[in-house]
C-alpha cells in the first residue's frame, strides 16, 4: 500500500491522472472508497482527463453509471451509494460492464460486495487530520 497526501481539488485531479498513467492493461477495475465529499468523483475526473476525455465528468449518484468513450475504449464510472442491496447490480447489467475491454471506476464499492470482482486498484480516500481541505489517499494494487 502506498499513501499520498492531497491538498486541493486540483491535486486530487492530478492524483487521478497519475493513477491512470500508472495503470496497465490489466488494471481495469478501480474501487474508490471514502466518505461523502472525500474526492472520489474529482479523482475519477482526473483519471478520465488523463485518458483523453475532454468533456464534463459528473457524479453518477442518481444515474448509477456514466459511460464514456475515450480513445476507442469504454470507461464506466459507477456510484453505488444509493444501492439498497448488491443484487440491484444485476438489474443494471453489471456483468456487461465488468469486461477486460472496459475500464470501471467504482465509487462506494462496499455497496456491491459479493457481486463486484476483486479490484485491480483499491483507493481509500480519507480526510487529512491536519488539513480540513486535504485528503489522504491509500492505494493498494492487486
How confident is the prediction for the chain on average, in pLDDT?
92
- The whole-number average pLDDT for the span 89-105 is 91
Are 51 and 71 in contact, with CB atoms under 8 Å apart?
yes
pTM: 0.93
The DSSP letter of residue 3 is E
pLDDT digits (tens, 9 = 90+) for 27-70: 589 999 999 999 999 999 999 999 999 999 989 988 999 999 99
What percent helix, strand, coil does the chain show, rounded to 5?
25, 30, 40
In this prediction, residue 132 carries a pLDDT of 81
- Least confident range from 49-53, 129-133, 135-139: namely 129-133
Residue 30, strand partner residues = 105, 121
Which phi and psi angles does 14 have, rounded to 5°?
Answer: -60, -40
Amino acid at each position: 500500500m502506498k499513501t499520498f497526501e492531497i491538498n486541493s481539488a486540483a491535486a486530487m485531479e492530478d492524483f487521478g491522472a497519475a493513477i491512470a498513467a500508472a495503470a496497465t492493461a490489466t488494471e481495469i477495475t478501480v474501487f474508490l472508497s471514502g466518505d461523502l465529499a472525500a474526492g472520489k468523483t474529482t479523482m475519477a475526473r482526473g483519471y478520465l482527463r488523463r485518458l483523453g476525455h475532454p468533456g464534463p465528468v459528473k457524479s453518477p449518484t442518481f444515474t448509477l453509471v456514466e459511460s464514456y468513450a475515450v480513445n476507442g475504449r469504454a470507461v464506466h464510472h459507477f456510484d453505488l451509494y444509493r444501492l439498497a442491496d448488491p443484487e440491484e447490480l444485476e438489474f443494471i447489467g453489471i456483468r456487461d460492464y465488468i469486461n477486460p475491454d472496459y475500464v470501471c471506476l467504482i465509487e462506494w464499492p462496499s455497496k456491491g460486495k459479493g457481486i463486484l470482482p476483486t479490484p485491480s486498484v483499491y483507493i481509500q480516500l480519507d480526510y487529512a487530520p491536519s488539513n480540513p481541505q486535504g485528503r489522504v489517499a491509500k492505494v493498494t494494487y492487486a
